[in-house]
Amino acid sequence: MKNDFSESFNINRDGWRKGCNAVEYKLIRSNRRTIGIEVKPDLTVIVRAPRRATVGEIERIITEKESWIRKHLEKMRMKKEQLEESGVNLLGDEEIRELTQRAKEYIPGRVRYFAGIMGVSYGRITIRKQKSLWGSCSAKGNLNFNCLLMMTPEDVIDYVVVHELCHRKQMNHSKVFWNEVGKVLPDYNERRKKLKDYGSILRSQ
């Protein structure tokens, strides 16, 4: 259970305060020691601060970082516009949570199914949003899957599941490894190409 709470404020050119030309940001206090600032892809500005930090201390840090904040807001704004033009939508926190929950309900069942067919064991299954990987398998057999897989077709999800389970037999991408994948999914090359078509989703979030 997280012991934190949030407050909403506004920023203008002279500092963080209410104003007609202000940009809204959110202050989250928790049991941390330092003040941190994050600009999220959806253009939300998050300020994280210790519970005992005064408003003056927080505003001083924010004022010092104002140029950095504005620079990153503009960067994120441009990226968002480019994605909208390309037809890829930027996902918010709530959408990520929903995808994660859906993945937790769906992917473990596919892992159990294919592990039974392949005769392999596995350890813990972790599902979260990742920036560069669709999935991975550790030397201990722990499996990681990207929640963004839920934005791809079922045959693509199955390919990623089988790919990672095949690492329980071959911890590499040798010819022997791909032969193992082919035993389960003879059309894996088609599925692999289809997965690459969804690479823009992975790179954009």
Same domain flag for 67 and 46: yes
Q: Which of 44, 65, 86 is where one domain is finished?
A: 86
Q: Which of 57, 86, 115 is where one domain is finished?
A: 86
Non-local CB neighbours of 195 within 8 Å, separated by 6+ positions: 134, 152, 156, 159, 160
pLDDT per residue rounded down to tens, the chain (205 residues): 444 444 545 544 333 443 333 557 788 999 999 999 988 877 888 999 999 999 889 888 888 888 888 888 888 787 767 656 555 566 778 888 999 999 999 999 999 999 999 999 999 999 999 878 999 999 999 999 999 999 889 999 999 999 999 999 999 999 999 999 999 999 999 999 989 878 766 656 6
Q: Which of 30, 62, 86 is where one domain is finished?
A: 86
Same domain flag for 156 and 113: yes
- Tell me how many domains the chain contains: 2
pTM above 0.85, yes or no: no
Same domain flag for 82 and 98: no
Same domain flag for 147 and 171: yes
CA distance readout (Å), 29 to 12, 17, 26, 93? 22, 18, 10, 19
Same domain flag for 134 and 197: yes
Beta strands in the chain (DSSP E): 5-11, 23-30, 36-39, 45-50, 125-128, 135-137, 143-146
User: What CATH number does residue 133 fall under?
Assistant: 3.30.2010.10
- Domain of 35, in residue numbers: 5-86
SS3 144: strand
Contact between 88 and 204 (Cβ < 8 Å): yes
Same domain flag for 193 and 102: yes
